[in-house]
Amino acid sequence: MSTPSLKDLQASVQDKTAFKQLADYETLATNYLAHLVSTKPTCIVSPSHHNYIFYQYSKSAGHKITRPLNTNLFIGDEAKFKQTFARFISVLGDLKRLQQRGASSRGLLAYSKTGEINQIIYTAQQAIGCIGDSFEIENQSRKRIGQLFENLVKLVLQEVGLKCEPRTVNLPIPDFPDRTMAYELDVVFSHNKAIVTSETKFIHPQEIVGSIKTTSKDRIDKVFLDKFLLTKLLGRDVPVIAVFLHDVQRAKRGNSIFSINSTFKTNHFLGYTVALNRLDGVYYVDPRPEMLSNAKLREQIADFQTLLLRDLWQLISR
């Protein structure tokens, strides 16, 4: 079987009929890793952060450069990715079966130390992102990449037994009985499908609202505003969590264009927490070092694996 070309991979990313199941993400990532082995694009190590690399495609692809890839998370070996993905699917089945008991399961506790959940999500999504980076027009695939990350997280939540779908609600505006405000929510999820009635006003008390974005850059204020407005307009606390892939971008430093910059706005995050409200959870597949070293950030931000193995079950059972 021949290795898929970059054009084939681009077509796969653009295929609106695909990515209906997690296996589709495995297939694309596996094909992309095989493509890397076959074509051997130039690998560039970031001089500022040596655990981040870039791939530069050949002349036929316009020498396009990929986004930075964290080698602590990106699984570059096709066979290893397949094996790790198989374990990941098995663990999702265990979580569906054990639910709240999974947090204390010896097997899952041991598995959590491998960090493989973050690695699988990161590799699957960044393979899509790197293919997107090869398009002739930069913005040609940006929206699609974000949609596929949102869909990936949704499929994972569904795989562990949750009801999880995007929703648009028409929120009533107090003192304006004839006016409503349409509000799009990335996902709304619950353990047992909650029946939304006029009494529960669009979001059931047992449902959780999730904002899913590849990066918090230019979006972090929107997540806090979601929590604030939903709580204010519905007259009760509405749980809201955020899931981000990463907060890094390529930057020029000195003579090099391969440095790394953080796009996370620490002061904005802390300011919104004080001025608006605290979110019910913030999760990164690739958290920035300051999120782990800063005590105030560490109280609120964890990695994506922590959501699946521990926090998710506390959220839906409260």
3-state SS record for the chain: CCCCCHHHHHHHHHCCCCCCCHHHHHHHHHHHHHHHHHHCCEEEECCCCCCEEEEECCHHHCCCECCCEECCCCCCCHHHHHHHHHHHHHHHHHHHHHHHHHHHCHHHHHHHCCCHHHHHHHHHHHHHHHHHCCCCCHHHCHHHHHHHHHHHHHHHHHHCCCEEEEEEEEEEECCEEEEEEEEEEEEEEECCCCCCCCCCCCCCCCCEEEEEECCCCCCHHHHHHHHHHHHHHHCCCCCEEEEECCCEEEEEECCEEEEEEECCCHHHHHHHHHHCCCCCCEEECCCCHHHHHCHHHHCCEEEHHHHHHHHHHHHHCC
| 194 and 136 share one domain | no
pLDDT at 153: 98
| 139 and 250 share one domain | no
pLDDT at 199: 43
| 219 and 285 share one domain | yes
Domain count, the chain: 2
Average pLDDT over residues 98-124: 90
Place of tokens 């264009």: 257
> Which of 112, 143, 158 finishes a domain?
158
pLDDT at 198: 43
| 308 and 171 share one domain | yes
For residue 64, pLDDT beyond 70: yes
Higher pLDDT, 177 or 297: 297
| 110 and 186 share one domain | no
* pLDDT per position as a tens digit, 279-293: 999 999 999 999 989
pLDDT at 201: 56
pLDDT at 258: 93
pLDDT at 2: 76
Residue 176: which domain range? Answer: 162-316
The least confident of 76-90, 150-164, 181-195, 220-234 is 181-195
pLDDT at 243: 98
pLDDT at 255: 81
> Which of 130, 158, 186 finishes a domain?
158
Q: What's this model's pTM, rounded to 2 decimal places?
A: 0.94
| 136 and 202 share one domain | no
pLDDT at 291: 95
For residue 196, pLDDT beyond 60: no
For residue 264, pLDDT beyond 50: yes
Mean per-residue pLDDT over the chain, rounded: 92
Per the domain annotation, does 211 fall within a domain?
A: yes
pLDDT at 193: 62
* pLDDT per position as a tens digit, 80-98: 999 999 999 999 999 999 8
pLDDT at 194: 58
> Which of 142, 158, 174 finishes a domain?
158
| 151 and 171 share one domain | no
| 16 and 130 share one domain | yes
- pLDDT > 90: percent of the chain: 75
| 294 and 207 share one domain | yes
pLDDT at 52: 97
| 178 and 272 share one domain | yes
Per the domain annotation, does 1 fall within a domain?
A: no
For residue 197, pLDDT beyond 50: no
pLDDT at 307: 96
**Local confidence band at 60 (pLDDT 50, 70, 90 cut-offs):** confident
pLDDT at 135: 93
| 23 and 113 share one domain | yes
